[in-house]
Structure 1
Amino acid sequence: MTGIVAVAEIDIDAPAARVWDVLTSPEQLKQLWFGADVKTDWQVGSPITWSGEYEGKSYEDKGEVLAVEPERLLKLTHYSPLTGQPDVPENYHTLTYTLTGNTHLKLEQDNNATEDEAKHSQAMWEMLVAKVKEAAESQ
């Protein structure tokens, strides 16, 4: 991991299989990712895209699936043109979802340039992991 890492963690009263389903099912992802359509086949090396609208503007974020260990680990890169930064590798974040025990979800995002950027990211990811918890526990 590089740069400042933003971390969001939560305990979920649901089996890892259910949490995994929430993290990888297209219907669930639309809820988690603030209405974005998430497209990927969840194979290592495959592209992943998030497309939607933010504050009235269409966008398409992109990345690559780096690691998939069902019910344990999901790792991918993420780049958003909304940052205004050029589309070069150093402007991509790595998102790492780790599932442990009964069932603890940890989401880490690296490559934050400043503490403020990391705090902003952490607030967003805390909302996302709370949505994962809610979805997994209500199924």
Structure 2
Amino acid sequence: MREHDPIVSHGRGGQGNIGADSTEYVDAAIVREGVYGDQGDGAYSAGRGGAGNIGSPHVRPTSKVPHDAEVIPEVAIRQSMDGDYHTGRGGQGNVHLDEEHRKEKEKKHQHRHDQYEGLADKLKYKIFGGRK
């Protein structure tokens, strides 16, 4: 690693989680527009948890549309090259499948659903035979 190479930290800490970062970054000028601290959508979370990090639930939204918005220039948007990837701390909701794997999983789920025969289905077959 050269002296001026950027470094990146992976994980929750420890020297073993720090290494060189070869990613080329560009200043994509992502900005937030609107009044600072005024989202216009009522109560909000300002931390990782705990009642002290939640704005007052008695504060109602001032409008249906948030007062601020993130403006993301086109240069900052790119398609993922990673295929399947996982984000967050765990859980199925943090798994992101590429298009091919997502369709394959949906097809398997549909096939399993088509093969499933519940008690009601068995009774209908017994009463009505093969007719539908």
The reply to whether TM is greater than 0.5 is no
Which range, TM-score by smaller chain? under 0.3
Scaled by the length of structure 2, what TM-score is found?
0.19
Work out which structure has the larger RCO, using CA pairs closer than 8 Å and 6 or more positions apart in sequence. Answer: 1
Task: Specify which structure has the higher proportion of strand.
Answer: 1
Q: Who wins on radius of gyration, i.e. which is larger?
A: 2
